[in-house]
Structure 1
Amino acid sequence: MNKWLPYMFALILLLAACNTGEKTGNSDENSGEDAAESNIDYELLHHLDFMPPEVGSSISIVQDEKLYLKWAEIFEFDTVPDIDFETEEVLFVTAYSDGCGRVLEHVKKEEETLIVKLNFPENIRSGKEIVCTEIALGNTYVVKMEKTNTTKGKLIDINRTILEDDAIVQEKLQ
């Protein structure tokens, strides 16, 4: 099983290199709250307080069991939940947050794009003032959901900053 580890790291480095960095969303852009979107039912399998440094902010939709098991090894899962890849897929979301942290607010589908939004935790959102340290904390969200037939993804944080745009589907481990 360890013979695939160098190939996975190469894949992760390639995906990180394809990420063009953080982009700030235009306030004139679609807010992601219109009727063309539909909510995706999902189950949060893991919320990890770290991510491998090679990954950076990204979205990956995994539709292959071998690839999923490799990612589970790289992300050091304590338990590896079973996935029925005939009808389900796994979404890996990685992003940095400030000292307040982030939670997965929603997963939506707009045409062929999966839109993932991160937000402050509820206890932070309910406060009158939000003061967070500027320290970068890694977060990984692993989500199980029904197959979405999406071909790309977009990751947005609470400040409407686009962290990842046009992410790709990871169908098979070659």
Structure 2
Amino acid sequence: MDEPDRDELDREELLAAAVRLRGQGDPGQARLRLLELADRYPDDPEVAYQTAWTHDVLGREAEAVPFYERAVRGGGLSAEDRHGALLGLGSTYRVLGRYPEAVDTLRRAVAEFPDDGALRTFLAMALYNTGRHEEAMRLTLTLLAATSEDPGVRRYRRAIEEYARDLDATV
């Protein structure tokens, strides 16, 4: 089995240190380190994802977008990180008012992770922002009926699901 080369070990150590800084409440310093890593490893999806995430934490959404886009292009991320990158990119597009791109990204994410309620929730918000209120409400009600532990929602689950299919139904 091949041992990782020194450059790969450096990358892993530097990336872990930057992520640790963000987790310890110093996203500004993490950002600086991640930008250096992104310059050094421009095709590394994990570095791009962590760089995007850190920009988002700092409220620098516009600067996060190219890193998210780089992260989700092609493969290379774990399923968990790919999920986070797609959610982050879709949500960031939405925050920036780039609603059609948010819908497209979040639809793709839901197709890849169909059981994820967070993705469906963010998709519903983006659909609302594009004026697709009926589709947004349908998605929201379907998710509510499927996931709520509220006794009242549980009791009326079938009715909620039926109305979700036809929001204009009176019976």
Place the TM-score, normalised by the shorter chain, in its bin. Answer: under 0.3
Work out which structure has the larger RCO, using CA pairs closer than 8 Å and 6 or more positions apart in sequence: 1
More strand per residue: 1
Bigger radius of gyration, 1 or 2?
A: 2
More helix per residue: 2
The TM-score with structure 1 as length reference comes to 0.26
The TM-score with structure 2 as length reference comes to 0.26
